[in-house]
A and B are shown apart, each in its own frame.
Chain A
Amino acid sequence: MEETRTGVAAVTRELSGPEAAAFAESAVPGSVARTTDTACYLKPGRLVAALDALKNSREADLVHLTNLCGVDFWDHFEVVYHVQSFDKNQIALFKVEVSDREKPSVPSVVPVFHGAWMQENETYDLFGIRFEGHPNLYRILLWEGYPGWPLRKDFLSMPGGLQPGLGDFAGTTPRSEPTVKVVK
C-alpha cells in the first residue's frame, strides 16, 4: 500500500470483519457477537460502549459515523454502522442484529455520535426500530400515525404471491392496488 507524506493510506482501508472485531474486542471486551468477512456484529448491550471506546482509541480513531441504516432480512433486522477515521483513513462496518419484529429496539448512539440523530430518526420512521436513549425520536419523513413501517419487507402484501425483491420483472404481472398492512 502506497504511503504518503503524512503516513495516511492513499486509499481508504476497509477494515475486514475480524480486524474491526479485534479493535472492538480490545476496546470493550466481550462486545463482539460474531464476525463475517466484511462486518463485525456487536452485541446490542455493548454497542454504545464499544463505539464510544473506538471513537476515543488512538489506533482505531473511528470518529466519524458516516452511515447508519437498517436492513430487513424478513426474520430479523440489522442496523448497519459505517464508522470511519480521518487521520488513519480507514472505515469499519459494524452491525447489530435485532430479532424482535414486534418491538425492535436498539440502543441509540446519539450520545456518542450526534450525527446519528437524523439517521436514527429516519430508520425509526421507515423500519419502526426504536432507538432507546434517543433524545427526540419521531417520524421525521412521514407523519405521526402513518400506518406501518414502509421499508419493512412485509409492508406490501401483493397478490399472486409476488414478493418484494422482484421474482419477476416489474410490470409483467398484472397488479391490483397494494393493500397497506398495519404492523403493530
Chain B
Amino acid sequence: MTGAIKSEPFVINIGPQHPSTHGVFRIRATVDGEKVIDAEMVMGYLHRSMEKLAEERTYTQNIPFTDRTDYLSSMSNNLGYCLAVEKLAGIEVPARGNAIRVIMAELQRLASHCMAIGAFANDTGAWQTPVMWAFREREKILDIFEVTSGARLTCNYMRIGGVAFDLRTPFEPMVRQVLADLPPFIDEMENLLSGNEIFISRTRGIGVLSPEMATNASLSGPMLRGSGIAWDLRKADPYCGYEQYDFAIPIGYRGDSYDRFIVRLEEMRQSVKIVRQALDGLPTGPFRTEVPLALRPPSGEAYARIESPRGELGYYLVSDGGPSPFRFHIRPPSFINLSALKEMTVGGTVADAIVVLGSVDLVVGEIDR
C-alpha cells in the first residue's frame, strides 16, 4: 500500500505551565498524532541576568547568587564558584575545610539525586509514591543543611578559602543517621522501579544517546555517563581532595533514559561511600583561610569546574584586579545538557518526550540563570 493515511501535524505547547516541565520551561512540539516530529525549546522565563549582576558585586557578595542558579544543589554551586575564585587568587583551603566541602557537596548530590529520580519516576507515571519516598530522605539531608548553615535550600555555606562556619554539634549523628537510612532506601527504589517491567518498558530505549552524540553535544554528568563514557571530574580532575576517597564511576550501557536513571541511583551509593570516608577521616584544624572581605584577585582568568549533580559545573572568571569580577560566566550543566533534547525527543511520542525531559534532570533556575 502506498497511500498510507496522512494526518495534519499540529503544534502543542508542553509548558511553560505543565506538570512535567519542572518549572517554567517550554517545549513547542510539532506532533503528528502522538509522534513528535519537531521539538523547539523555549526558555528564559526565569532569566535574571545573574552574570551581569555579578559584575556589580564583590567576589564574596556573589556567593548567594550561585545558590539561586541551581536551587536544588546550592552547595555544589557555592563550591564551584569558590573554587574558581580560589584558583584566580591562588588561595589554599585548609584540610578540614576541604573535607567539610566534600561532605556537603556529596550530601547535596544525594539530595539532588533524590529529587531527580523521584521526579523522573513521577514523569513515567508512578503516581507520587517514589517522589514521596525520595522527599522523605531528602528532608533529612536538608535538616543537616539547616543545622549547619541555617538554611535548607539556598545554603550560602561555602566561603572563599573554606566554609562559613565550623560544623555544629548534632552534625555527625545526623549524618550517620542519613548514611544508615540511605542504602535501604536506594535498594527500595531499585526494587520499586529498576525491576518494574512497566518502568523498564517506558524508559528502556527511550531517548538513546550514542557516546559520539553525547560527546559532541557537550553533555556532562549522568547524561554522559549513561552513554557509557567514564568521565567524572571528581576522578579526572580531583578538587577538594577527592583523590583521597575510594569510589567508582557508574556508567550505563546504551545511553537511554533507563541507564541515566540507574547511573543516578548508583551515584547515590557511591556518594554515601564518600561521605562515610570523609566523615571518618575528618581532620581537625582551621576550616577557613582568612581572606579579605573585598578580595582583589590579580588580573587574569580562571576556569574552575566541579562535578555537580547535573554534570560539569564550570565558573569562568575574568578579573581586572578590581573588587568585582570583570566577567562572571557560569557553565550550567542542565542548560547544555538540553543540547541533545531535540535529537532525543524527535521520533518518539509525547509521553516519551516527557520521560526524556525527566531523565535530563533539568533545573530551570540554572537554565535561565
Residues of A within 8 A of B (CB): 8, 10-12, 38-39, 63-67, 69, 71-72, 80, 82, 86, 89, 93, 113-119, 122, 126, 140-143, 150-151, 155, 164-167, 169-170
**A80 close to B316 (CB less than 8 A):** yes
Cα distance A66–B219 when bound, in Å?
8
Complex A-B: 28 CB contacts under 8 Å: A12-B237, A63-B216, A64-B215, A65-B218, A66-B305, A67-B329, A69-B327, A69-B329, A80-B316, A82-B314, A82-B316, A86-B215, A114-B340, A115-B219, A118-B339, A122-B335, A126-B51, A141-B43, A141-B44, A142-B47, A150-B52, A155-B52, A164-B56, A169-B58, A169-B294, A170-B56, A170-B58, A170-B61
Q: CB of B368 within 8 A of chain A? A: yes
Encode contact with A along B37-50: 1 for CB under 8 Å, 0 otherwise. 00000011001010
**Counting CB contacts under 8 A, is B236 at the interface?**
yes
**A66 close to B51 (CB less than 8 A):** no
Whether the Cβ atoms of A66 and B312 lie closer than 8 Å is: yes
Is there a chain A Cβ closer than 8 Å to B176's Cβ?
A: no
Asked if A166 and B52 sit within 8 Å, CB to CB, the answer is no
Chain B interface residue bracket vs A:
35 or more
Please tell me if the beta carbons of B326 and A151 are within 8 angstroms of each other in the complex.
no
In whole angstroms, how far apart are the Cα atoms of A12 and B43 in the complex?
Answer: 33
Chain A residue with Cβ nearest B318:
A71
Chain A contacts for B314, CB-based, 8 A: 66-67, 82
In the bound complex, CA of A166 to CA of B339 (Å)? 35
Kindly identify which residue among B216, B303, B312 contacts A114, using a CB–CB cutoff of 8 Å: B216
Q: Are A165's CB and B55's CB within 8 A?
A: yes
Chain A: CB-nearest residue to B48: A141
Asked if A11 and B329 sit within 8 Å, CB to CB, the answer is no
Determine if B323 and A169 form an interchain contact, defined as CB atoms under 8 angstroms apart: yes
Contact B303 A67 (CB under 8 A): yes
Which residues of B have CB within 8 Å of A89?
Answer: 236-237
Contact in complex: B55, A118 (CB < 8 Å): no
Residues of A within 8 A of B237 (CB): 11-12, 89
Report the Cα distance A118→B44, complex, angstroms: 13
- Specify the main secondary structure of chain A where it touches its partner: loop
In addition to A12-B237, A118-B336, A151-B49, 7 A-B residue pairs with Cβ atoms within 8 Å of each other are A10-B238, A67-B303, A71-B326, A114-B218, A140-B44, A141-B47, A169-B58
Docked CA distance A67–B320 (Å): 21
Instruction: Name the one of B51, B216, B312 contacting A151, with C-beta atoms under 8 angstroms.
Output: B51
A137→B368 CA distance, assembly (Å): 17
Residue interface bits B325-342, CB-to-A below 8 A is 1, else 0: 011010100011011100
Q: Which residue of A lies closest to B216 (CB)?
A: A114
Judging by beta carbons under 8 Å apart, are A63 and B215 in contact? Answer: yes
The interface residues of chain B lying within 8 Å CB-to-CB of A38 are 300-301
Q: Digitize B296-329: 1 where CB-to-A-CB distance is under 8 Å, 0 elsewhere.
A: 0000110101000000101010101011101101
Q: Is B120 an interface residue (CB 8 A)?
A: no
Chain A residues near B18 (CB, 8 Å)?
A: none
Sorted nearest first, the 9 A-B pairs with minimum C-beta distance are A115-B218, A12-B237, A141-B44, A166-B324, A69-B329, A67-B331, A141-B47, A114-B217, A115-B217
Q: Are A170 and B57 in contact (CB under 8 A)?
A: yes
Q: Is B229 an interface residue (CB 8 A)?
A: yes
Q: Are B58 and A165 in contact (CB under 8 A)?
A: no
B287 close to chain A: CB less than 8 A: no
Q: How far is the CA of A116 from the CA of B216 in the complex (A)?
A: 9
A142 CB contacts on chain B under 8 angstroms: 44, 47
Contacts of B303 in A (CB 8 A): 67, 82, 93
